[in-house]
């Protein structure tokens, strides 16, 4: 199965032996996880662990190519694991149908962050840094994609927070903004190649080769693709002298307020400040009167905060970070969608 890999110039048996001992954790079996797992399934790895708490949805089949209509409603992790076993019955394949937890990274050589969620990426980044494990990161939205490799314990350390210093919530989603299905495949294929490059390259404390046999990973480099023109660009990434991890999100679940309760608060004394964390394009379709963007919120504003997004998911992530920083923040339950469905006005 790995004979074509071994035939690569400079690879040989040393590369396939290194892959055979590799233990890889893949977080997310969706649009990015599907192509990653497809290529890793035939890579001759020793163990693959798949973590995903979600189930297969028919609306995602165009880009989540591991799945079929018969899989709709089944746990992604379990279906994905079955597909991998069908390709390589010798490999140890573990399915964890649950949300990512930091302890998942233990006993793995490389982690793949294919969840495409800033909140999950922050958790993966912190866990991998604590364990000294490199992780491969990718993201896609619309026609745009990015791939990089982070390793906080490398000789020249670089991590996700060096690329995105601020602990911002997810902006946009494939459901709202769309995504080109083939872009997921292209980015996912590059991510899978980063895994094999890491495993078949120098690894501290292991018997891995002392040079890169399957290409050099994108450590300290960010590869960006614009699928409108299929232009790939590379940007260097270095750790600055003031680099530091952002304040972690609070573990507590933010309180929620209903649209009707918010309307009453806005009409009374001591109204809260509304922070709309949606994208500029989303806000252009209408906002709740008086809303401000996160950048416009003053650090010393003493008013309580109500966080607004499309449905509540991004607002929850933003509110957790705000609570950790000492703010009084609650989430508009159901987001602007629920606000409109109850007949409350918006402005443009």
Distance CA 126, CA 129 (A): 5
Among the listed residues 338, 56, 21, the one whose alpha carbon sits nearest the alpha carbon of residue 203: 21
Check residue 165 and give its pLDDT.
82
Check residue 81 and give its pLDDT.
97
Question: Domain spans of the chain?
Answer: 3-236, 256-341
Check residue 273 and give its pLDDT.
93
Which parts of the chain have pLDDT scores under 50? Answer: none
184 in active site: no
- The CB-side HSE value for 281 (13 A sphere, CA atoms) comes to 6
pLDDT in tens, 211-233: 788 999 999 999 999 999 999 99
Check residue 193 and give its pLDDT.
96
Fold of 256-341: Oxidized Rhodanese; domain 1 (3.40.250)
Fold of 3-236: Rossmann fold (3.40.50)
Length of the chain: 348
Distance CA 221, CA 198 (A): 14
pLDDT in tens, 301-329: 889 999 998 887 778 878 887 887 788 99
Return the sign of the alpha-carbon dihedral for residues 264, 277, 303, 295.
negative
CA-angle at 228, arms to 224 and 230, nearest 5°: 55
Check residue 203 and give its pLDDT.
65
Which of 128, 174, 184, 309 is flagged as catalytic?
174
């Amino acid at each position: 199965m790995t004979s074509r890999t071994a035939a690569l110039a400079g690879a040989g048996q040393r590369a396939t032996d290194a892959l055979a001992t590799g233990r890889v954790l893949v977080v997310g079996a969706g649009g990015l996880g599907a192509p990653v797992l497809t290529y890793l399934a035939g890579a001759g790895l020793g163990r693959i662990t798949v973590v995903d708490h979600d189930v297969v949805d028919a609306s995602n089949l165009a880009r989540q190519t591991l799945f079929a209509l018969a899989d709709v409603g089944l746990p992604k992790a379990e279906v994905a694991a079955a597909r991998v076993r069908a390709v390589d019955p010798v490999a140890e394949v573990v399915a964890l149908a649950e949300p990512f937890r930091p302890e998942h990274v233990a006993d793995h050589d490389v982690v793949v962050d294919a969840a495409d969620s800033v909140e999950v990426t922050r958790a993966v980044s912190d866990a991998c840094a604590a364990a000294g494990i490199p992780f491969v990161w990718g993201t896609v939205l619309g026609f745009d994609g990015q791939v990089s490799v982070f390793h906080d314990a490398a000789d020249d350390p670089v991590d996700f927070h060096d690329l995105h210093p601020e602990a911002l919530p997810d902006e946009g989603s494939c459901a709202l903004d769309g995504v080109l299905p083939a872009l997921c495949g292209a980015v996912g294929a590059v991510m899978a190649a980063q895994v094999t490059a890491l495993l078949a390259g120098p690894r501290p404390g292991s018997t891995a080769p002392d040079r890169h046999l399957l290409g050099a990973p994108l450590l300290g480099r960010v590869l960006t693709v614009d699928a409108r023109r299929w232009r790939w660009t590379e940007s260097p990434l270095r750790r600055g002298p003031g680099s530091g991890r952002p304040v972690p999100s609070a573990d507590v679940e933010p309180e929620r307020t209903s649209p009707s309760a918010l309307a009453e608060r806005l009409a009374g004394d001591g109204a809260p400040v509304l922070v709309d964390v949606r994208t500029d394009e989303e806000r252009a379709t209408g906002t709740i009167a008086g809303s401000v963007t996160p950048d416009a919120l003053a650090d010393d504003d003493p008013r309580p905060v109500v966080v607004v997004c499309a449905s509540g998911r991004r607002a929850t992530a933003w509110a957790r970070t705000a609570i950790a920083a000492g703010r009084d923040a609650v989430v508009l339950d159901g987001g602007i969608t629920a606000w409109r469905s109850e007949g409350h006005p918006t402005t443009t």
